Amino acid sequence: MVVVLAGCTQAQLRGFMPGEPGVTNHTDRVTGLWVTSWIVLLVVGILTWGLIIWAAIAYRRRKGQTGLPVQLRYNLPIEIFYTIVPLILVLGFFAFTARDQDAIESDPGDPDVTIEVYGKRWAWDFNYLNEGPGGDGVFSPGIQAEETDGPETINYDTLPVLYLPVDQKVQIDIHTRDVLHSFFVVDFLYKKDMVPGKTNYMYFTPLKTGTYIGKCAELCGEYHSLMLFQVKVVEQDEYDDYIQSLVDAGQTGTLGEDYIVNQNQPGTEASETD
Ligand SMILES: [Cu+2]
C-alpha cells in the first residue's frame, strides 16, 4: 500500500478533486471522505470482479459435459454474509458522511465576516454586512458573464467578485431573487442551494490566498452557464482596501429583499380586490 501510494501524484492522492489541499478548513475533510470511500468501494469491487471471473473460469463447461450442473440453493451462511457485509458498508458510509456533514454544516458562531449572497438570473449580488460607515454594509452588484470570441470564451474582468479575508471565519447568508440557484465555489468543494423564500448558510475559513472560480450549480434558465463569479481570498489589508473602495464608490448599504422579483412568497397573502 505504501509503495503504491508513494507512486501517486498529488492529484491522484486527492481522488482528482479540484483545487489543492487546505483551501478552506473543510476541504481536506471532504477529500478524505471521498478518497476513503473510493478505496473501500474499489476493494469491494476488485473482490467481486475477482470472484465472478474465478467462478466463470473454474466452473466453465468442459468438453463432454452435458445437462445442467449441480444446482445449489438455500446456502444460509452465504446469504447471511451477503446481507451483513453490505449492511455494514452502508451504515459505515452513512456514519462517516453524517459525521463530516455535521462538522461542515454546524454554525461555529462569531463570524469575522458575514456576507449576504443573492443569486439572480444570471449573476450575483454580494452584501458585506456590518462594514462601511455606521456598519450599514457595503454592496457589490454583479453582472452576467460576457462571452468573447477569444480563447478564454468569457471576459474574466467583468465577472462578479467575492472578496474574502484569509484565515478569518466566514459566514455566507444565501438567498435568491427569483428561481432556484446553487452557490458553488469549485475549489471549496461545497455548494449550497439558493431557495426562494428561504435563507441557507455556509460557514468556513479560507486558508489559502488565491482566485477561485464560482458558478451556479442549479439549472436556472437560458444563461445558467454564464452565471459565474470569482472568489478572491486576500490578506486582511487588501480586503479592507476593497471594502473601502466600495465605500468610496458610494456602494454603502445593502441590495436586499426589495429586489426579489417573486411576488407570491410563502406567507404572502394574495392581494384583495373590492
Ligand atoms: Cu443560477
Q: What DSSP string describes 168-223?
A: S-EEEEEEESSS-EEEEEGGGTEEEEE-TT--EEEEE-B-S-EEEEEEE-S--STT
- Over residues 167-193, the pLDDT tens digits come to 999 999 999 999 999 999 999 999 999
- pLDDT over threshold 70, residue 270: no
| Structure confidence at residue 107 (pLDDT) | 95
- Take residue 110 and report the three cell numbers written for it: 462569531
- Check pLDDT > 80 for residue 265: no
Please tell me the distance between residue 141's alpha carbon and the centre of ligand 1 in angstroms: 15
Of all residues in the chain, the percent with pLDDT exceeding 70 is: 96
Q: Which residues crowd ion ligand 1, with CB under 5 Å?
A: 181, 216, 220, 227
pLDDT class for 9, splitting at 50, 70, 90?
A: confident
Q: What is the predicted pLDDT for the residue at 268?
A: 61
The bridge status of strand 170-176 relative to strand 113-120 is parallel
Q: What is the mean pLDDT of the chain?
A: 92
Ligand 1 geometric centre to CA of 247 (Å): 28
For ligand 1, the distance from its centroid to the CA atom of residue 189, given in whole angstroms, is 18
Residue 131 pLDDT > 90:
yes
CA 207/CA 215 separation, integer angstroms = 20
**How far, in Å, is the centroid of ligand 1 from the Cα of 185?**
13
Q: What's the gap between Cα 156 and its chain centre?
A: 22
pTM: 0.85
Q: Are 155 and 148 in contact, with CB atoms under 8 Å apart?
A: yes
Q: How many CB atoms lie within 10 A of CB 38?
A: 13
How many CB atoms sit inside 10 A of residue 240's CB?
14
pLDDT over 90, % of the chain: 75
How many angstroms does the Cα of residue 21 sit away from the middle of ligand 1?
A: 28
Least confident residue range of 5-14, 42-51, 124-133, 247-256: 5-14
pLDDT digits (tens, 9 = 90+) for 75-110: 999 999 999 999 999 999 999 999 999 999 999 999
Contact 178, 261 (CB under 8 A): yes
* Chain segment 149-163, per-residue pLDDT in tens: 878 899 999 999 999
Top pLDDT among 174 and 16 is at 174
> What cell does 45 get?
469491487
Question: 214 C-alpha vs ligand 1 centroid, how far in Å?
Answer: 11
The pLDDT-based confidence of 257 (bands split at 50, 70, 90) is confident
